[in-house]
Every structure is written in structure tokens, then in C-alpha cells.
Amino acid sequence: MKMKDDRRLINYYSSPLGAVTLESDGDVLTGLKFEERDGPPRPDESPEFPVFAQTKRWLEVYFSGEIPDFTPPLRIDSTPFCKRVCEILLTIPYGGTETYGAIAETIAKERGIPRMAAQAVGGAVHRNPISIIVPCHRVVGAGGALVGYGGGLGRKSALLEIEKKGTYAHRKALVRSYLGKRVHIGIDRPVGYVHKKEKYTLNYPINYGYITGIKGGDGEDLDVYLLGVSEPLDEADCRVIGIVHRKNDVEDKLVAAPDGAVFTKDEIAAAVDFQEKWYNTEIETADGE
């Protein structure tokens, strides 16, 4: 068994939000935090170990607005409770948030106790030794309030905004990647479906469904309008022929049709107008017309 290395090696990274201190034992990352002082980072005190290079690469990707597809090797040196909280932090998805109370409920259930104070979780989150990568900035107060971040609430807000923009761009690109492809959709609002809203009733003249597991701009399953089929369906295999881009909303919609069916932009716009008339939309088609 490999023994823990007690070396404390220091390196620095200059982020758009200020200088960041990196700590390692030479093999894994053991610390990452924003410097409390202002100004450029200090000269590196330790050699450029591979773990420092990997961490800096992760930070470069992250601060560019992309979603890192790797994680540098790391270790949480803390109490068992803090380690468990950090494990939960690592499950909060990029662009998402979780409350202190929800994390407390999760741990209470694991321990078989009636409840746990959110303040206890807050203390553990505050002691997280590896900021950003172990995303303590994604933990918010009740109602989404921005509270309790060691790097400052301004940085917490900035990190969440970076992820919001990165997630939105990623989902936009994902939606566009489906143009021209065959997909299987589940239909939860078939032809004739009546959706009663608070101020009006929406009648569906076409089948409307989703692609399970593929997230749209709103973080929910990606929605699909199905054209060219007049009878109500439960599911369908079809081809994506267009996208309804909502300029004043985060959620774009796919437009699909049976193989061989052709629709112009004007025909698509007319077919989806029953729901899209409240939005400023632009239609994009697979053939670019």
C-alpha cells in the first residue's frame, strides 16, 4: 500500500477572477483556493509537477467557458464528514446548483437520522480544500440565495455565470448537431392533446414529444415537433429537418418528420405557430434554406 506523501508543494495560476494557489503532494492535487491578496500570482515555489500542469489545463478549459472532460487526480484531506460532503459536491452537474438543506437531507437519510442542520453542511462546504473543481460554488441557500463562499460572493456569482453561459452554448451546439439525423422520440402531447394553462388553453394540432436523456437549453429533455403525421402517436422514429430557435428564451425545439417528408421554413413556422407565437423565433432547416 502506498503511504500518504506529506509534502506540501505550492504552485500558482492566474485566473480571470484573481490569483489561485495550487497545493499538491507531488502526485495528486490537495488544495486549490483563491488568493486573499490582490495582484498577480507569486512566482511558483515548486517545480511544475504533472498534477500542476493538469490542473492548470483544467482551469484553462473551465475559464474559457467550455466543460472540462477530465479531472486532475485529487485527494480530500479532511474529516470523514467533510469528505462525504465533497463527494456530494462532485455530483452537482456543471451549470447546476444544490442547496445546503438538500445536501443535509441526503446525509441524514444515509445516516438514518431524522434531520441534519444545514449549518453543519455549510461548515463542511466552507472547509472544502479544492475550490472550483470540487464545486462548492454550486451550493446555494434556500430559494437560490448566494451565501457562504470563501472566495467571496462576487466570485461565486461569476463562476455560476461562467457555467450558465458554457452550458447554454453547449446545449445550443448539441441541438444543432441533430440536424438531418434520425431520432426516436417519445410523444407526451399527441395530436388533439389539450394543455390547460393558467391564462389560456393550448390545443395541439401536431404530435409533440422529446428525446429522452438529451437536455435542451432549459435543462429538460429536448423537445421535438413532429410534422407530417396526422394521427396521434405514442412514439415515432423520424428525421430531424429543422430547429426552432427561440431568441428570447433558452429553449430551442427540434422539428422532425417521417423520412422523405419535405417542409419549407414557412410551412414549419405555420405548423408550430400554435405554441411559438409567444416567442421571437427563427427557423433553421437541415438544408440551410
Q: With a threshold of 0.85, does the pTM exceed it?
A: no
Name the pLDDT band for 168 (thresholds 50, 70, 90): confident
Per residue in 169-187, pLDDT (tens digit) is: 777 777 888 899 999 999 9
Written in H, E and C, the secondary structure of the chain is CCCCCCCCEEEEEEECCEEEEEEECCCCEEEEEECCCCCCCCCCCCCCCHHHHHHHHHHHHHHCCCCCCCCCCECCCCCHHHHHHHHHHCCCCCCCCEEHHHHHHHHHHHHCCCCCCHHHHHHHHHCCCECCCCCHHHEECHHHCCCCCCCCHHHHHHHHHHHHHHHHHHHHHHHHCCCCCEEEEEEEECCCCEEECCCCEEECCCEEEEEEEEECCCCCEEEEEECCCCCCCCEEEEEEEEEEEECCCCCCEEEEECCCCCCCHHHHHHHHHHHHCCCCEEEEECCCC
Active site residues: 136
What pLDDT shows up at residue 1? 33
pLDDT at 73 over 90: yes
Please give the pLDDT value at position 36.
75
pLDDT at 4: 47
Average pLDDT of the chain is: 89
Q: Cell triple for residue 76?
A: 480530500
- Give percent of the chain with pLDDT exceeding 70: 92
pLDDT for 139 beyond 50? yes
Domains of the chain listed by start with CATH number: 9-169 (1.10.10.10), 177-285 (3.90.80.10)
Question: Which of 146, 188, 147, 174 minimizes the C-alpha distance to 243?
Answer: 174
Higher pLDDT, 47 or 185: 185
- How would residue 212 be classed by pLDDT, with cut points 50, 70 and 90? confident
Q: What is the mean pLDDT of residues 51-76?
A: 94
CA-atom Rg of the chain in angstroms: 24
